[in-house]
């Protein structure tokens, strides 16, 4: 996975984002507000299994079992934009000080807080 953050514009605000593997079954999406690179604006844990790590398991299972037990769909820029919009709506009531937010991407794209907000 590319280590360089990618730029994205959402509702005329500039952000940077990057995806990195955190476990064999999860990736971590990190989002920064442009100009505030010291601390990620948010971190979102997303299910995405490592295809090559599970390759031997995949070859032994029926296609229906693979669909049921694994998720090989990478995050796309459109999904990242929707996550940013959801976080921005949550952020409207929060002051401008930098806060570390950690979420997990749940069913149907819902965001579930997995850690308290910290500075």
Within-domain flag for 57: yes
pLDDT single digits (tens) 29-43: 889 988 877 778 888
Mean pLDDT value of segment 82-105: 69
Within-domain flag for 1: no
Q: Which residue has the tokens 């995949």?
A: 58
Instruction: Provide the domain limits for residue 67.
Output: 6-118
CA distances from 78 to 58, 94, 109, 116 (A): 28, 25, 12, 27
Can you read off the two tokens belonging to residue 64? 């229906």
Q: How many CB atoms lie within 10 A of CB 16?
A: 19
Evaluate whether 119 touches 99 at the Cβ level (below 8 Å). Answer: yes
pTM: 0.70
Within-domain flag for 114: yes
pLDDT single digits (tens) 7-61: 999 989 999 999 888 777 788 888 998 887 777 888 888 877 777 777 777 788 7
What is the count of structural domains for the chain? 1
101: left (phi over 0), alpha (psi -120 to 50) or beta: beta
């Amino acid at each position: 996975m590319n280590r360089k953050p990618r730029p994205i514009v959402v509702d005329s605000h500039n952000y940077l984002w990057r995806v990195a593997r955190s476990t064999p079954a999860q990736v971590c999406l990190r989002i920064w507000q442009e100009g505030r690179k010291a601390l990620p604006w948010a971190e979102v844990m997303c299910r995405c299994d490592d295809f090559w790590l599970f390759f031997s398991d995949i070859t032994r299972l029926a296609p229906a079992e693979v669909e049921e037990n694994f998720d090989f769909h990478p995050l796309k820029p459109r999904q990242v934009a929707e996550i940013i919009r959801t976080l921005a709506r949550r952020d409207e009531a929060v002051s401008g000080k930098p806060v570390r937010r950690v979420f997990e991407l749940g069913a149907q794209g819902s965001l579930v807080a997995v850690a308290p907000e910290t500075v």
